[in-house]
Amino acid sequence: MAQQKIPEVVVDRLPTYVRALTLLREEGISVVSSQELGVRLRVTPAQIRKDLSYFGRFGKQGRGYNIDNLIRELRSILGLTKEWPMALVGAGQLGQAILRYTGFVPEGFRVVAAFDTDKRQIGRKIGPVVVQDVAELPQTVVERNVDIGIVAVPSATAQGVIDTLVRSGIRAILNYAPMSPHIPENVLVREVDPVVALQSMTFYLKLDEKQREKAAQ
């Protein structure tokens, strides 16, 4: 089936399947049923089977899924059989934390360049890279074959940074700035905003408080 026909929500669930399967393998489990996997992920077995059916047939009815095989297949589907070079823009506190984060490399992602406009940051070695002037971004992206950009700048300057990344050939952007960027249709953007996540959680906390108050009356 053509990739564009696969619902985005299905693709977004695949990494969670890989993570859960990897944890199962670390526990010494070699075969898992959709029922068992669903319990781990709080997803129905039918949903898991439907998601996987977009990409082929995995496992056998009554026998479950071979975990090693399924991890290998899903990592291939997600493009995780190669290393993806990334460039970060914004070497402030958030950018420095991202640069020092060690969890990217084992999953196939490597920050190969970082940029800033602050002369105090330019030339500093942070994590694996030396921060460059943002003016060097277009040339570096080409030279290092960068496919993914990470934006860790204030919202007021984020659109300009994203425009520069797009003009430089970046095809996917992980955006930490609290704004909704304007991008071409052929560029992927994923937004990471912990404040929004917290705000959605407080809705349920407030609802729970109201229910407790009502029960106490």
Q: Is the pLDDT of residue 1 over 60?
A: no
For residue 115, what are the β-bridge partners?
89, 132
pLDDT classification of 61: cutoffs 50, 70, 90: low
Q: Is the pLDDT of residue 60 over 80?
A: no
- Between residues 59 and 180, the one the model is more confident about: 180
- Per-residue pLDDT tens over the stretch 11-45: 999 999 999 999 999 999 999 999 999 999 999 99
Continuous segment of H or E residues that includes residue 101: none
- Per-residue pLDDT tens over the stretch 65-108: 999 999 999 999 999 999 999 999 999 999 999 999 999 999 99
Average pLDDT score, the chain: 92
What pLDDT sits at residue 208? 83
- Phi, psi (rounded to 5 degrees) for 73: -65, -45
Nearest partner of 175 among 67, 86, 69, judged by Cα: 86
- Per-residue pLDDT tens over the stretch 161-210: 999 999 999 999 999 999 999 999 999 999 998 888 899 999 989 988 88
- Token digits for 49? 């089977």
What pLDDT sits at residue 62? 67
Nearest partner of 166 among 89, 99, 98, judged by Cα: 89
Mind listing the domains of the chain with CATH numbers? 3-77 (1.10.10.10), 84-195 (3.40.50.720)
The pTM assigned to this predicted structure is: 0.87
Q: How far is CA 176 from the centre of its chain?
A: 11
Q: How far is CA 124 from the centre of its chain?
A: 26
User: 170 and 150 in contact (C-beta within 8 Å)?
Assistant: no
CB hemisphere CA count around 154 (13 angstroms): 4
What pLDDT sits at residue 2? 43
d(CA 90, CA 194): 18
114: left (phi over 0), alpha (psi -120 to 50) or beta: beta
Which residue bears the tokens 């460039």? 87
- Per-residue pLDDT tens over the stretch 113-144: 999 999 999 999 999 999 999 999 999 999 99
